[in-house]
A and B are shown apart, each in its own frame.
Chain A
Amino acid sequence: MERCGPLKMLKSRLELISSAFLLLALVGTTAGFSPPQSAPQGQRWFEDVTHKAGINYRHHSRHFNNEFSEIMQGYTKLGASVAVADYNGDGFEDIFVTDSCATCKNHLYRNNGDFTFTDVAEEAGVAAGNDEENASAGALWLDFNNDGRPDLFVVRFGHSILYENLGNGKFRDVAKAAGLDSYLNAIKAIAFDYDNDGYVDLFIGCYFQNISLFHPTTSRFFPESFETANNGGGVFVYHNNGDGTFTDVTQKVGIRTSGWTLDLGHGDANNDGWEDLYVANDFGTDRFFLNNGNGTFTDKTETAVGFDTKKGMNADWGDYDNDGLLDIYVTNITDDYMREGNFLWHNNGNLTFTDVSRETGTYDTGWGWGGKFFDYDNDGWLDLYVVNGWVSAGPESYVPDVFAMVTKPGIDLADARNWPPMGNKSLSGYEKKKLFHNEGGHFFKDEAARHGLDSTRDGRGIAVADFDNDGRLDLFVTNADDEPFLYRNILPTGAHWIGFLLEGTKSNRSAIGAQVRITAGQKTYLRYVNGGNGFGGQSTTRVHLGLGQNTRIESVEISWPSGLKQKLPGLPIDHWYQVREGQSTKNIHPWKPKR
């Protein structure tokens, strides 16, 4: 016993030191203590937990049974998509993933709360997204009936499906009753309340024009030009009538475009309380539509961004330089044979944007697909993750075939028969993904290799969410004809954060379009709720802000779509908060998941 004395003393000293640290840490979260910042350079902050989490079903593209099958199969490689929401209200974000082959099932991965997932698509009634006449191409969670339960829209080449969430773990198809059962070659949908009537409306982006891809009656359904094609599927706008039905108001609201839409992104460009729209088009000009605030939009492409001839594939909005204005990130094709470069549209504050992709180092991401703003290291600056790669197949390249076609005099590009079969050739394949760390809003540094996020699979969609509610944003990435990735963020503790789950009362219940301005360290940060921006992937609707070394926040202001501005006091940090529109600010406490 005696001999144990010094050890005992040491132990009690350690306990004392530990207690002191614990006390300091607790005080630190509310009263200005700065814990040591982050981990040393070179350490990985993401862990690939795809298999461990049981979420590794691969995507399969469609084989078409028609004369265009050789060239058409590639286009269902676009259908590897993901959408995130807490469908069962247990406080943990769940994941819906699409597949595209005729016999393939879609997956609803229920979050078990311990970073494992269970595919419950069959029992929930949402597995059947593919058949001989329809191919899944995208997915969107939206609470169309404001019942607080996320419903699911499965975007398809064919007839899309609207699944109503019944609240008992089951869904039912209400597309027909809702007036959403038209045949469209839809590839993307986002939901936001364009007229601020309290219900989210549906914006559907279509790639091919409105002909059956499964039994085409003409061979002229391909893009008429590589740079100015206007024979695509365009955008359809469905107004939510608030009674479970939707009305096609595309013409009425002034969204007139017939481009080859690949992505839609909304955000309030001029902070006037009305959501504007960016349309990323393949084979031609992207479009920028300004919301007039009276239920209509004006096409401001020429003055806002100008007419481009690139291959727009992604449109995500975020305030990367923390100047209080939302910027836009668009991916295009950048390879040896096609030097388009991406757009990082810096918002100038006067409804014009300047492309700063070259200056910021975000210009070249290969054949880009999904790109998402998110703050992975909680330093208060939005970083960017971008996936890429079209087809990674055999060693032969498809590029010479394409150029032989385009240099043929008088070629009719719209005729699918003129497009050379791809066979087992590669085109912009085996490209490394990019994780751009935001260096103070001035430029970005690629840290993908360091964090193990530089896979060479053909990436498509990205969903950002905090799957374990620890304040560190995780990633789910889909890959065409391959397994997805689930990357768990294991950033060492140190950098602070705060997050919000917003619930509209007068505004749409999921608070899509709500802006949150958080002031910390005498600096104000803007974050907002988006309804599905980004190619092939819908991220969380929760609002997250990294606070870096800031150990307290001074104020929070929420601008709801209804127009209400709600001010919250300086809340303790490193917590999620659930805030209802207009609720008393005295009763706001840290939120915890039910399980």
Chain B
Amino acid sequence: MNKKIYSICFALWLLFCLFPQSVQASEADYRQGIKALTENKYQEALYYFEQAISGDPDNARYANDYRQAALKAKDFERPLQFFQKALAEHPNSANLHLNFGFAHVDKIPVAGSITQVILANDALTEFTKAIEIQPTWIGYYTRGESYLFWPKIFNRASMGVADLEKAMEMQKKGPRHSYHVKVYIALGDGYWKTDQLEKAKAMWQAGLKEFPDNASLKGRISLQGDELKNLIEAGFDPAKRVNTDLSELWEN
């Protein structure tokens, strides 16, 4: 009996002490990373962020801020290598897959036209793995938006619409967040890209009811024909950097 009680106590002690310690260590590394970043010591910041992620691979904030630091350092290769290595150790981390995908996206604007396609394709593979492990709003929104970047010839816009409709469904079930406006814009763009102009307009209108000050929605509703086409297509220019900073998710 005493032995059993001892075992339970030991397990509780482990849970109480060891796990939080690892998380605590990661948080300490993360703070070191932030400090280094504010001092523009990019290599140091990247090192600490990597330590933080290794200790807590499912922490979205760590992985996100790591990528943003790499962008500031203009080091597009290091996050790719790091996430690949981290995924070898934690293959079932949806967060790592998602951020590995974003690391591919982050490199696209500095890549040649064919490498852009390869990076975009690899990013989609990682986003899909993230969804398979954990179907989340951010997963569906991200993959859905990514599909919309593909040229018409690949017929991927309809897949983007399907993902974005799922994201819309999810966001309607929970509390309203400011970032939900993104799905209204993207889903409308998806309808436009699949030649459903009326549905596109309706989606942007619905978005404007929820977010009446949003300039992107206003722009889309006010324009027609070639002007609307130019506005939408400008948003899908692979030469332009896509904002992959997720901090809005925990700040709002």
A residues sitting closer than 8 Å to B (CB atoms) are: 226-228, 309-310, 333, 335-341, 397, 399-400, 403, 406-407
Contact = CB atoms under 8 A, between A and B. Distances in A.
A226 B151 CA distance: 19
27 contacts: A226-B112, A226-B113, A226-B114, A226-B115, A227-B113, A227-B114, A228-B112, A309-B111, A309-B115, A310-B112, A310-B113, A337-B153, A337-B154, A338-B114, A339-B113, A339-B237, A339-B239, A341-B239, A397-B153, A399-B151, A399-B153, A399-B154, A400-B153, A400-B154, A403-B117, A406-B118, A407-B117
A227 B151 contact: no
Shortest beta-carbon contacts, A-B, top 5:
A309-B112, A227-B112, A336-B151, A226-B114, A337-B151
Chain B interface bracket (under 10, 10 to 19, 20 to 34, 35 or more): 10 to 19
Contact of A227 (B115, B154, B238): B115
Given A341-B239, A406-B117, 13 more contacts: A226-B112, A227-B114, A227-B115, A309-B113, A310-B113, A335-B151, A337-B151, A338-B113, A338-B114, A339-B238, A340-B113, A399-B154, A403-B117
A491 to B, nearest CB: 30
B153 A406 contact: no
A407 B151 contact: no
Contacts of A340: 113
Nearest to A338: B113
B173 interface: no
A340 B114 CA distance: 10
Nearest to A226: B114
Contact of B114 (A335, A336, A397, A406): A406
A5 to B, nearest CB: 62
Contacts of B239: 339, 341
Given A406-B118, A407-B118, A407-B121, A336 B113 contact: no
B112 A336 contact: no
Contacts of B112: 226-228, 309-310
A292 B20 CA distance: 68
A120 B111 CA distance: 50
Interface of B: 111-115, 117-118, 121, 151-154, 237-239
B115 to A, nearest CB: 6
B77 to A, nearest CB: 15
A400 B118 CA distance: 13
B206 to A, nearest CB: 29
B113 to A, nearest CB: 4
A338 B153 CA distance: 12
Contacts of A341: 239
A549 B165 CA distance: 61
Contacts of B115: 226-227, 309
A227 B114 CA distance: 7
Nearest to B151: A336
Contacts of B238: 339
A400 B154 CA distance: 7
A588 B114 CA distance: 56
A403 B113 CA distance: 11
A407 B113 CA distance: 13
A338 B118 CA distance: 12
A336 B116 CA distance: 13
Contacts of A335: 151
Nearest to B239: A339
A339 B108 CA distance: 12
B233 to A, nearest CB: 10
A406 B239 CA distance: 20
Nearest to B152: A336
B76 to A, nearest CB: 14
B192 to A, nearest CB: 15
Contacts of A226: 112-115
Contacts of A337: 117, 151, 153-154
Nearest to B122: A407
A399 B114 CA distance: 11
A407 B114 CA distance: 9
B114 A333 contact: no
A338 B117 CA distance: 9
Contacts of B153: 336-337, 397, 399-400
A441 B213 CA distance: 40
A230 to B, nearest CB: 14
Nearest to B238: A339
Contacts of B114: 226-227, 338, 406
Contacts of A336: 151-153
Contacts of B154: 337, 399-400, 403
Nearest to A334: B113
A226 B152 CA distance: 22
Contacts of A400: 153-154
A337 B118 CA distance: 12
A335 B154 CA distance: 13
A187 to B, nearest CB: 22
A288 B117 CA distance: 28
Nearest to A341: B239
Contacts of A228: 112
Nearest to A408: B118
Nearest to A311: B113
Nearest to A407: B121
B142 to A, nearest CB: 20
Contacts of B151: 335-337, 399
Interface centre among B112, B121, B151 (most CB of A within 10 A): B112
A226 B117 CA distance: 12
Nearest to A284: B112
A403 to B, nearest CB: 6
Contacts of A310: 112-113
Contacts of A399: 151, 153-154
Contacts of A397: 153
A310 B112 CA distance: 7
Contacts of A406: 114, 117-118
A335 B152 CA distance: 11
Contacts of A403: 117, 121, 154
A383 B187 CA distance: 42
A335 B114 CA distance: 12
A407 B154 CA distance: 14
Nearest to B118: A407
B121 A333 contact: no
Contacts of B121: 403, 407
B173 to A, nearest CB: 36
A298 to B, nearest CB: 26
A340 B237 CA distance: 11
A309 B118 CA distance: 15
A307 to B, nearest CB: 10
Contacts of B117: 337, 403, 406-407
Interface centre among A333, A337, A400 (most CB of B within 10 A): A337
A87 to B, nearest CB: 42
A234 B74 CA distance: 32
Nearest to A337: B151
A228 B117 CA distance: 16
Nearest to A332: B113
Nearest to B125: A407
A289 B238 CA distance: 31
A314 B211 CA distance: 49
A338 B113 CA distance: 6
